[in-house]
Amino acid sequence: MLTHTGAPTQGTDPAVLSDADPLAAFTDRSLLILDDDRPFSTRLARAMEARGYNVHVAESVAEGVAAVDREPPAFAVVDMRLGDGNGLDVIARLKERRPEARGVVLTGYGNIATAVTAVKLGAFDYLAKPADADEIHGTLMAQPGERADPPENPMSADRVRWEHIQRVYELCQRNVSETARRLNMHRRTLQRILAKRAPR
């Protein structure tokens, strides 16, 4: 478990957001990042600290729930699929402990059903990975009922497909045959995709 600390804060003001510095409206800038991809969570933690958040990083559902129970954060960025369960359980616990908290769900499995489930459980919004710090910050600071501005350079459709294939490949322990079976793809086609560089 990684912990990033900043200046101590207390309480959360009503979310009347400043045009100059939206985060200035919040006296409590605590942020939980829950992701089992350590390089990603470490980069994101540093980037969010630079934007004024006080960051705590957890790597499992169990750690995330414990962090919420110990001190519910004002904000959370939660990966949906983790080694020991579903990050949505942490979102649900956060909304029980701190109803006004803003939680964003990150997942490489972007689909409408998952987004609806996340919002029903209390997520403030939903972003497809790999989302960057600007997208996440903009989403956390959006006015209720509003959507964050679309990214200037979103992933191409080819890149989204490549990311999905890579994720399934990793989940299948880098077994090409099993990955091809689960993706309903010819093994040789999959091998050619895996041999290529990631598309832009």
Per-chain mean pLDDT for the chain: 80
Domains present along the chain, CATH in parentheses: 2-140 (3.40.50.2300), 157-195 (1.10.10.60)
Cα separation of 64 and 41, whole Å?
13
Q: 71: closest CA among 125, 28, 122, 103?
A: 28
Q: For residue 83, what pLDDT is reported?
A: 86
Q: pLDDT per residue over 51-87, tens digit each?
A: 999 999 999 999 999 999 999 999 999 988 888 888 8
Cα separation of 48 and 140, whole Å?
11
Q: pLDDT per residue over 148-164, tens digit each?
A: 555 566 667 787 788 78
Instruction: Give yes or no for a contact between 75 and 31, defined as CB atoms under 8 angstroms apart.
Output: yes
Which tokens belong to 110? 């972007």
Cα separation of 149 and 153, whole Å?
12
Cα separation of 106 and 102, whole Å?
13
Q: For residue 188, what pLDDT is reported?
A: 93
Which tokens belong to 30? 């605590």
